[in-house]
Amino acid sequence: MNPDLERDETRAFPVGSAPDSWGVWFPDDPLQTPWPRFLDEVAAAEYDWIELGPFGYLPTDPRELQAELDKRGLRLSGGTVGGALHRPEELPAVRRSMLEVAALAGALGAKHLVFLPSMYRGLKDGAQLERADLDAEQWRALTNGAEHLAKVLLEETGMRFCFHPHAESHVETCEQIERFLADTDPELVGLCLDTGHVAYAHGDAPRIAREHPDRIWYVHIKSVDPEVLARVNADRLPFADAVKLGVMCEPSRGIPPLDEMRDAISKLPAGTFVVVEQDLYPCDFGRPLPIALRTRKTLRDTGIG
């Protein structure tokens, strides 16, 4: 269990949002909402917390970013970084990137780093990059790499390593998540449970939360539109195209049911971050704020925070 937190079912969770919910997937892209607008609108939606998002999207000077957050009443819940842990030769570069992100996030008080495994299909074009499964040696490299990064992160920054199972990555299904948890040190490696990505892979996020509360140190809350997912599966569409079709929907409008997810995460330690992350890339700049306003109200009404 995360040693910094105690269980308390009477407290709501600290709730935030992320650049992803404003259509941001990359450090710099003309199709993405400019970062000042993102910060203005996430504050207008009455969120208190944000994630860093792709490194370089928000200012990377800690004093500048702190000033921008302060004037909007925002705080930073965590940083995000990714990499191909199943390729050991890439581990040193991933470690450097992780520590760069952690230095910025930690300077702003964040205690969590969300790690995104590399995808086997391209995030922009859906092109097949490699096989969807790993052999035994690659799997060992992935789990050993996660433990190594988690140990380095904790020792050098005091931050917690939260591995994020992701669509079209090598840890996406419930079976793969269970295997990953069994093969990694529970004192070092936790999960960022993304409810939408689990549902996208036909998994049961509430069950994972109920069965592994001590391994879930961070939550991304989102939903999947089952009708769009059925089309995606029937046509074998890549995740990039699925997002464009609206497969990730508002938390109240898809699966898993929000009340079921609320009940499942109610056993997590008080203070566990619940961050809204609705994949919207690319989207019209005027689309995210109305969604964020509705979602913020829904989370309050549901009792999540």
pLDDT tens digits, 98-116:
999 999 999 999 999 999 9
Mean pLDDT within 266-285: 94
Instruction: Tell me: pLDDT of 8 over 80.
Output: no
CA 71 to each of CA 19, 39, 56, 222: distance values in angstroms, whole numbers, following the listed order: 18, 10, 20, 28
Identify whether 206 is preceded by a cis peptide bond (ω within 30 of 0): no
pLDDT tens digits, 165-195:
999 999 999 999 999 999 999 999 999 999 9
Mean pLDDT within 214-233: 97
pLDDT value, residue 259: 95
pLDDT value, residue 7: 37
pLDDT tens digits, 48-93:
999 999 999 999 999 999 999 999 999 999 999 999 999 999 999 9
Instruction: Tell me: pLDDT of 3 over 70.
Output: no
pLDDT value, residue 1: 40
pLDDT band at 277 (very low <50, low <70, confident <90, very high): very high
Pick the CATH number of 15-302 from 3.30.2090.10, 3.40.50.2300, 3.40.50.10330, 3.20.20.150: 3.20.20.150
Listed as own residue / partner, the contacts of 120-129 with beta carbons closer than 8 Å and 24 or more positions apart are: 120/168, 120/169, 120/170, 121/168, 121/238, 121/239, 121/240, 122/238, 122/240, 123/25, 123/239, 123/240, 124/25, 124/240, 125/240, 126/237, 126/238, 126/239, 126/240, 126/241, 127/238
Mean pLDDT within 137-163: 98
pLDDT band at 2 (very low <50, low <70, confident <90, very high): very low
pLDDT value, residue 125: 84
pLDDT value, residue 9: 43
CA 213 to each of CA 7, 44, 159, 269: distance values in angstroms, whole numbers, following the listed order: 11, 32, 19, 8
β-pair type (216-221, 189-194): parallel
Q: Would you kindly state where each structural domain of the chain is located, as residue ranges? A: 15-302
pLDDT band at 270 (very low <50, low <70, confident <90, very high): confident
Instruction: Tell me: pLDDT of 151 over 90.
Output: yes
Mean pLDDT, all residues of the chain: 95
Phi, psi of 155 (to 5 degrees): -70, -35
- Looking at residue 127, what DSSP letter applies? -
